[in-house]
Amino acid sequence: MKKVEKIQLKRCLSLSEIVIYGVGLILGAGIYVLIGSAAGIAGNMLWLSFTLAAIVASFTAMSYAELAAIFPEAGAEYIYAKNAFGWDKMAWVFGFIAIVIGFTTASAVALGFARYLSYFIPMNQVILAIGLLVLMTGINFWGIKESARFNALATTIEVGGLVLLIAIGGYFIFKGDIPLANLTEFPPLQEGSPISWLPVVSASALIFFAYMGFEDIANIAEEAENPAQTLPKAFIYALLISTIIYILVAVVSVSVIPFSELAKAEQPLSMIMSKLIGGFSPELIALIALFATANTVLITLIVCARMMYGMAKSNSFPRILASVHKTRQTPYVAIIVTGFISIIFLFFKKVEVLAAISDVGIFILFFIVNLSNIVLRYRRPDIHRVWRAPFNIGRLPVLSVLGVLSCLFMLVNINHPVHLGDKTYSAQLVGMCIFALAIPLSFVFNRRPKV
């Protein structure tokens, strides 16, 4: 076997760049695609659904922050589970889940990008999505610093679009031209739901797709400057900034357009801007959405490739995936493979199928990350913890316990069906079937001799 030359990833990302990186992914496609559907479920209490999703995310973010400071390595979830449970096959399963989430998320968002781009260029959407994945794979290969620069530009544009919507909508609400929606009005009961707050929780489970991204901060640990100090702060700042923007967008949205109309809109934010100022605003929001979705695809591909690279370094994937390019200092083989497999997933052709897989997988993954932090507090109390999650009872991290419970609760309450052909399945069933493939594959890959 040819020995892979050990070239290290380049440590060049500052705290501000990592925060921008995290905000860029969190504020990506989710808010542009899902806010209409979520409003149809939660009604005027859409802001509360965003708040609940943020609370659940914050529990897990604290576990990620503590673990990332202890193990500042690529392949985060795999590394955490391996150190916590000491069972390679189990850790491999969770690493595999994280990678599949990357494939499905990149493909789903690429299809979302194609929908917006087809507004300007009438072409086959799968072909447009393939073009985006190829382009973003090239930027990913070129270098993490170059990727961070594109991320900074795209994040500025996508955040600017949301802030513009908040500012204009807030101005008209403050003046009294647009009445503020009744933000304490419970949504209409869903069929078969005996409790009025269940739709709010169900919308939170759907909205959680819009929060996916903060966890990916952990997977660029090997390219961060002073990761033990910067990563915990980056988790907190990125999640806080994104949550404030999400809540304000939710309040403006249901005030400007009745939630029943938002639920029917294919481009809900474009509809809101058109109602506010008319003119070319729908095209402007569509253009901003192109940057937002492209940015999400890029960062997802970056993280997915680093996850494969990290597992290959541990010899849990073929060692060639741990190859680092001599001049670009990026894991180029893992980058190429990630782009190729993401293109294959495009042929599902349905964003809702890919989003359902991502939703189910992320709650499973977050459950394991929280559990890993709890286990390590007791199995490895001797580890030097540069940063500890707040609120502890002895060794027990209370927020990690809340993270375990809330992830299970949200997983059960995912309530958006998946349509395949003429049949309808639950999102949980589709996701579990995909991720169940990890179990037999773990036995295949973990038979490889360790080196």
Nearest to 369 by CA among 81, 19, 74: 81
377 vs 371: CA distance, rounded Å:
10
201 vs 205: CA distance, rounded Å:
6
Q: Classify the C-alpha dihedral 253-190-409-414 as positive or negative.
A: negative
pLDDT digits (tens, 9 = 90+) for 218-243: 767 777 788 777 888 888 899 999 99
The pLDDT assigned to 2 comes to 46
**Mean pLDDT taken over the chain:** 84
The pLDDT assigned to 416 comes to 67
The DSSP code for 142 is H
Please say whether the beta carbons of 417 and 426 come within 8 A: yes
The pLDDT assigned to 169 comes to 94
Amino acid at 369: V
Nearest to 57 by CA among 359, 395, 445: 359
pLDDT averages per 10-residue partition of the chain, 451 residues: 56 83 75 82 92 92 89 78 83 86 90 85 92 94 79 84 93 94 81 68 82 77 77 88 94 94 83 82 82 87 88 85 88 95 87 77 91 95 87 95 93 74 79 84 65 44
At 396, give phi and psi (nearest 5°).
Answer: -75, 120
The pLDDT assigned to 340 comes to 96
- Helical H segments across 143-220, by residue range: 144-175, 198-211
The DSSP code for 364 is H
Give me the CATH code for the 15-445 domain, please: 1.20.1740.10
State the angle between helix axes of 281-313 and 144-175 in degrees (0 to 180), rounded to the nearest 10: 140
Nearest to 120 by CA among 330, 314, 282: 282
Please say whether the beta carbons of 35 and 166 come within 8 A: no
296 vs 110: CA distance, rounded Å:
9
Please say whether the beta carbons of 389 and 397 come within 8 A: yes
Please state, as a whole number, how many other Cβ atoms lie within 10 Å of the Cβ of residue 177.
9
The pLDDT assigned to 201 comes to 85
Q: How many CA atoms lie within 13 A of 320 on its CB side?
A: 5
The pLDDT assigned to 193 comes to 55
Helix or strand run (H / E) with residue 355 = helix 351-379
The pLDDT assigned to 207 comes to 82
Q: Is residue 334 classed as helix, strand or coil in its secondary structure?
A: helix
The pLDDT assigned to 1 comes to 43
The pLDDT assigned to 132 comes to 96
The DSSP code for 280 is T
The pLDDT assigned to 59 comes to 93
Please say whether the beta carbons of 177 and 275 come within 8 A: no
The pLDDT assigned to 333 comes to 95
User: How far is C-alpha 109 from the geometric centre of its chain's CA atoms?
Assistant: 11
At 58, give phi and psi (nearest 5°).
Answer: -65, -35
User: How far is C-alpha 346 from the geometric centre of its chain's CA atoms?
Assistant: 18
